[in-house]
Amino acid sequence: METEEKQLQNLLKWAAHLGITDSTNGTPSHSRSCLGHSLIVSHFPLAGGRGLGAVRDLRKGALILKVPKSALFTAQSSLNEDHNLSHAINSHSSLSSTQILTLCLLYEMGKGKNSRWHPYLVLLPRSYDLLATFGQFEQRALQVDDAIWAAEKATLKAELEWKEASKVMEQLQLKPQLVSFRAWLWASATVLLSYGTYTNLELLEHYGFLLNENPNDKVFIPLDTGIYSSGSWPKESQYIHQNGKPSFALLSALRLWLTPVNQRRAVGHLAYSGCQLSVDNEVSVMKWILKNCQDQLNNLPTSIEEDIILLSTIDKIQEFNTPTELKRHLSTFGGEACTFLEANGLQSGRNGAELSLSGKTKLSIQRWKLAVQWRLRYKRTLADCISYCCELIKPVQLNSS
């Protein structure tokens, strides 16, 4: 079996043959690699792993990598090259564009070394940590109802799309390992990469990672239905920013809602412009947000401090190699740690000390860690919002006393 380094060399040589290059004159630097003039394959352990690093100073706006359209793996290029694939997919008009691209990738994987994309396909990740891949334990580890529902919904959506495409896979006579739901999740996770202004939950749902400092992150707290009906601010705009500050729409909506009904018309224009309506009203708004954030924190099974300790524990067990070692360490914690052992069949003692941890268990540990990281960031935002509200209320209380 070829080493990963050898596979990488084959990929770079293959890419150069297709005309992919980082050379400014538009042709590959040499036939053995498409890189070397501006870029080189590098490893970034703190930023996602393997990627491209600059080998020289790059000017803003300079062309640093050229990829011919003919080198792109697309649904259309696959359909144009293979009559059987084209016939099977065109006979099922209800398939979405993402389902078609997923099918094309699975079909190409089935060709093995006969695929012209083999040097690329063989280096793709073997698994991802998207929400749809979370088991029941990892879903529950998110703790927050909205996040758990997002994970369940992602899984249901993926299952539905897989079942809709199953007839095409049968028609294409794909290998058994390529028609499984697990294979479908892998293939659909591999093409669907298009970053944007996503929250951490959305990043976890679509890409399998999250950011500790994500300026696009949002926390939604339960709101009375009357808050929505008192104004015209859309529900999705009423949230708390990652830094703990309530959004413009949330503040404006609460200012109006906490105003007596017979006075709302008179102050509506001020609320919609983002102005404070009165000192008492503003204090009431901050107290309402503070209480609801505190209630939300109190209703969750674990505290911020407990999650920090748990994350540290998960980091340690990721280095363990045997089920016995893992069980010995986690069984002293109880609670969620014991639930993890049960969910992975490690509580019963069926796994001996001489066996290595299974790939499934290692994936579960990684997804558990992501779930705890997400809920810890969620809780910290709530705690920051509580601090923010307290800081605004304190001067008013001091002046009134």
pLDDT tens digits for range 187-242: 988 876 666 688 888 888 888 888 888 888 999 888 888 887 777 788 888 999 99
- Highest average pLDDT, of 121-125, 192-196, 289-293, comes from 289-293
What does the pLDDT look like over 343-377, one tens digit per residue? Answer: 888 876 554 444 778 888 888 999 999 999 999 99
Query: What are the CA-CA distances from residue 46 to residues 9, 49, 211, 231, 375 (Å)?
Result: 24, 7, 12, 45, 21
Q: Which of 142, 167, 193 is the last residue of a domain?
A: 193
208 vs 210: CA distance, rounded Å? 7
Strand 240-241 with 218-219, pairing: antiparallel
Q: Which of 116, 117, 82, 126 is nearest to 100 (CA)?
A: 82
- The identity of residue 77, as a single letter, is S
Q: State residue 218 phi and psi, 5-degree precision.
A: -140, 150
Give the pLDDT band (50/70/90) at residue 334: confident
Residues 118 and 182 in one domain: yes
Q: Residue 335 above 60 pLDDT?
A: yes
Q: Residue 313 above 50 pLDDT?
A: yes
How many domains is the chain built from? 3
Q: Which pLDDT value is given to residue 31?
A: 62
Q: Which of 193-202, 236-245, 259-268, 382-391 has the lowest mean pLDDT?
A: 193-202
Q: Which pLDDT value is given to residue 81?
A: 84
In a domain, 130, yes or no: yes
In a domain, 348, yes or no: yes
Q: Which pLDDT value is given to residue 259?
A: 87
Q: Which of 90-99, 139-148, 222-231 has the lowest mean pLDDT?
A: 222-231
- Highest average pLDDT, of 41-45, 256-260, 367-371, comes from 367-371
188 vs 29: CA distance, rounded Å? 34
| Boundaries of domain holding 142 | 73-193
Residues 24 and 135 in one domain: no
Strand 49-54 with 39-44, pairing: antiparallel
In a domain, 45, yes or no: yes
Q: Which pLDDT value is given to residue 23?
A: 77
Residues 89 and 56 in one domain: no
Residues 132 and 59 in one domain: no
Q: Across residues 77-87, what is the average pLDDT?
A: 87
Q: Which pLDDT value is given to residue 192?
A: 67
In a domain, 279, yes or no: no
Query: What are the CA-CA distances from residue 198 to residues 157, 201, 203, 234 (Å)?
Result: 19, 8, 6, 18
* 3-class SS shares of the chain: helix, strand, coil, % to 5: 60, 5, 35
Q: Which of 192, 218, 208 is nearest to 134 (CA)?
A: 208
Residues 309 and 374 in one domain: yes
Q: How far is CA 226 from the centre of its chain?
A: 33
User: Mean pLDDT for the chain?
Assistant: 85
b/e sequence 261-299, b meaning 16+ C-beta within 10 Å? eeebeebeebbbeeeebeeebbbbbbebbbebbeebeee
Q: Which pLDDT value is given to residue 311?
A: 92
Residues 51 and 160 in one domain: no
Residues 79 and 187 in one domain: yes
In a domain, 232, yes or no: no
Residues 77 and 51 in one domain: no
**List of long-range contacts for 284-288, beta carbons under 8 Å, 24+ apart:** 284/258, 285/251, 285/254, 285/255, 285/258, 286/389, 286/392, 286/393, 287/389, 287/393, 288/254, 288/258
Residues 58 and 93 in one domain: no
CB 13 within 8 A of CB 1: no
328 vs 316: CA distance, rounded Å? 13
Query: Can you point out the beta strands (E) in 143-225?
Result: 218-219
Q: Which pLDDT value is given to residue 195?
A: 63
Q: Which pLDDT value is given to residue 300?
A: 94
CB 143 within 8 A of CB 149: no
In a domain, 249, yes or no: no
Residues 177 and 83 in one domain: yes
In a domain, 178, yes or no: yes
Q: For tokens 């014991």, name the residue.
A: 338
Q: Across residues 105-134, what is the average pLDDT?
A: 88
Residues 27 and 79 in one domain: no
Residues 60 and 78 in one domain: no
Q: Which of 319, 323, 322 is nearest to 349 (CA)?
A: 323
Q: Which of 143, 163, 193 is the last residue of a domain?
A: 193
Q: Is 332 exposed, middle or buried (0-12, 13-18, 19+ CB in 10 A)?
A: exposed
In a domain, 110, yes or no: yes
Q: Which of 240, 238, 175 is nearest to 377 (CA)?
A: 240
Q: Which pLDDT value is given to residue 293?
A: 95
Angle formed by the axes of helices 279-299 and 248-257, nearest 10°: 110
Give the pLDDT band (50/70/90) at residue 400: low
Q: Which of 193, 221, 240 is the last residue of a domain?
A: 193
Q: State residue 174 phi and psi, 5-degree precision.
A: -65, 155
pTM recorded for the entire structure? 0.81
